[in-house]
Amino acid sequence: MDKVFIEEKEYVEKVKNSVKQTLAELEETLKSVGISNLNRLKELKQEGEFGPDFLMFLEQLHEKNASLNLKDKFTRLEELKYLLSQPYFARIDLKHKKLTENIYIGKFGLAESSPSVTDWRAKIASVYYRYRYPQKDVYYDTPGGVEKRDLLLKRTYEISDGELIKYYNNDIQMDENEVIIDKIGKKTGGVLEDIVETIQQSQMDIIESDPRQICIVQGCVGSGKSTVAIHKLAHIFFNYPKLIHSEKSIVVAKNQILVGYLSTLFPRLGIFDINYKTVREILVNLIFREQIQIKTELDTPGDLMNFRLKDLKKLHISLEKIHGSYERKLSDLFKVTEFEPFGGYKYSTNMSPSENINEILTELEEELTNQKDELKELPNDSIKAYLCRENIKSLRKLVNKLADMKNDIKINEVSEMAKAFGIDPKQHLTYAQSILYVYIYLSLMGIQKHPTYEYCVVDEGQDFSPLEYAIMSKVVLRGRFGIFGDLNQSLDPSGIARWEDLFDIIKEAKTSVRFELSTNYRSTRPIIEFARNILAPYTKDFMPESINRKGEQPAAKMVSSADDVVSGFLSDIKEDVKILNKSIGVICYEKSLFDRITTEMKKIIKNKENLVILDSGTRVNYIPKGVYVMDAENSKGLEFSKVYVLGLNPGEIKTFEEARRAFVVTTRAMNELVIYGVREHEKT
């Protein structure tokens, strides 16, 4: 047997023993929580999933055992259990002068005992992702500056259930695409999976970019945008633990389907307490927490298209005028002789007019308290006492005037500006009108009770309107956004037209960085070529490049009628579900087919757990082996091993909008694509 293999196999056992020792010590510590509570946590955590009941119970235990820091310890427990199965996946040997360091890299780190494992998010681990083969003079960042080493060895391992299966050295002859293709070929689809073993340099650039700015990623279909976004968050929480916290960060998606889909990956990366929301949920929370007195009909979308970037710019100009007006009012107020001694406050346009007044009121209330306390210590008939009483009178007058000014903003200014932009606050407001009104309200009044998030990831960013981005910017600190999307997959007509527009919307950000991902890792080459041909007549921008994964040609079956579409599909799917060992997406491109197909699938699939009906308003549990039924719009961002598209005739596509829609549904497929459509001359 290979001598190196034997040595590596022995090292795996050493690391596992180290993990077991650390795990035993941690489990002993956790016994203080109570065996029954630990057993309850195990019951709630089923099949590796972390549902709302589990998270709620963990939060309750955490609060009861604050000194134990239970959430962090439970997270560590899960990490150690994973390390028993797969302690590490890579090794790099770095030489500095005469010293050579062997660094083993894992999904999670092990520093509590020896031998140790380095977390993939550590700065030194970036050498593995950034350099394809051994070479001199490799660089990596550290808190103390850039370090230089010689990379003597880059080795990758396949370890399963704690057993070393094989290893290979990454040298100049090795094609790393083959490794990626092999790993993708083993995926079933249906759920997001981590990519810590196969992160590419272009993806690592995004993951490691400074989070204190807007990060915009234009990623072609299947380039791993959503997965990279989540790995970026994991990297941020590891490297910026005092600046950005998981419980104070948020992932925003267009609907509950994507919210649920994205949430499946976080626990696999050791993240249990991040926030997931739609813009609608953020809006509802703002209205409730800030006690904004409006009546809403949020199920009525309204017309987000009517409020474009130019309208937002007009709104910003109007807000600037109001800022100027209140800055002058405050300046004039403190020019009054009686109030002049209490002046000196500098107005800030970074805060709302109301918040500026609040700052002044806080200082004046403090001064009023000081004057009252001083008066108690003075003889009643002294000059100082007289001056204190006069100051108290003046301060009370000033406080009342400022309170009136603040009240005027809430009652009159908000209402007047809303009316200027076509909103009657006395009427029931649509979703679009509600966003606009709340944005105006917050711009003038500020946020008092709603949390401000330290970082925000936006998935499928091309489908959000300028107004939706504007309201998001109100609840995210200093414009710290990671925005991931693909303009070729724009299905929402109200979505932004250009990524550059975001710099005019998210005013809070001082700097920005933009990346582009052009390689498709999801689909086979024939599927990508088929999809490219759909878009080619309309655009050459942001086209996906295949990683050259082999597979069957897509099957486009044109039949005589919608009935034939259904019968042909049902015949095929009955064969598929006999051995359900992968995910299958059934996309009703023709919406009228959705209810009919749903009914038929419920008859065919007896085990309800194997059938998932996707609805934009409902969050579901995702499974790696099952059948998913959806319409075209609800397929966005998802991937399945095999995809059926029902009601699409590629030959009938006449517009760029139709081409984008067809492009989206066909590229959900990883390995197999079957299209059923009605022949053009057969349609009536």
Q: Is residue 276 part of a domain?
A: yes
Residue 462 lies in a domain: yes
Domain match, 394 and 452 both = no
Tokens coding 563: 């009935």
- Supply the pLDDT for residue 526: 98
- Whether 429 is covered by a domain: the verdict is no
Residues pairing with 453 in the sheet: 476
| In a shared domain, residues 169 and 222 | no
Please tell me whether residue 599 adopts helix, strand or coil conformation: helix
Q: Residue 48: what pLDDT?
A: 47
129 and 14 in a common domain: yes
Nearest in space to 645 (alpha carbons), one of 565, 545, 576, 578: 565
Domain limits for position 648: 550-682
In a domain, 633, yes or no: yes
Question: Does residue 369 sit in the same domain as residue 273?
Answer: no
603 and 516 in a single domain? The answer is: no
Q: Among residues 404, 420, 436, which one ends one of the domains? A: 420
**In the chain, count of helices (H) and strands (E)?**
21, 22
Residue type for position 393: K
Domain total in the chain: 4
User: Are 20 and 168 within one domain?
Assistant: yes
Question: How many angstroms separate the CA atoms of 129 and 115, rounded?
Answer: 22
The full DSSP string for 534-591 is: HHTTT--TTPPEE-----PPPEEEEESSHHHHHHHHHHHHHHHGGG--SEEEEEESSG
Same domain (yes/no): 572, 647: yes
Within this chain, do residues 156 and 34 fall inside the same structural domain, yes or no? yes
Q: Which two tokens stand for residue 303?
A: 């017309």
Counting as low any pLDDT under 70, the low residues of the chain are 1, 32-69, 190, 681-684
pTM of the model: 0.90
Task: Tell which of 402, 420, 438 closes a domain.
Answer: 420
Buried b (16+ CB within 10 A) or exposed e, 282-312: bbbebbeebebebebebeeebebeebbbeeb
Q: Are 152 and 262 part of one and the same domain?
A: no
In a domain, 160, yes or no: yes
Q: Are strands 481-485 and 455-458 parallel, antiparallel or unpaired?
A: parallel
Rounded Cα gap, residues 133 and 386, in angstroms:
83
Domain stop point among 420, 439, 469? 420
CA distances from 448 to 101, 281, 467 (A): 52, 18, 21
The predicted structure's pLDDT at residue 69: 67
Could you tell me if 29 and 156 lie in one domain?
A: yes
Q: In whole angstroms, how far apart are CA 244 and each of 58, 145, 308, 558?
A: 22, 21, 32, 53
Do 12 and 122 sit in the same domain of this protein? yes
558 within a domain of the structure (yes/no)? yes
**What pLDDT score was predicted for residue 68?**
62
Q: Is the residue at 185 inside a domain? A: no
pLDDT attached to residue 47? 46
Residues 50, 131 within the same domain: yes
Distance of alpha carbon 213 from its chain centroid, rounded? 15
Torsion of CA 242, 245, 248, 252, to 10 degrees: 130
At 490, which CATH number? 3.40.50.300
425 part of a folded domain: no
> What DSSP string describes 615-665?
-TT------SSEEEEEESGGGTT--EEEEEEES--GGG--SHHHHHHHHHH
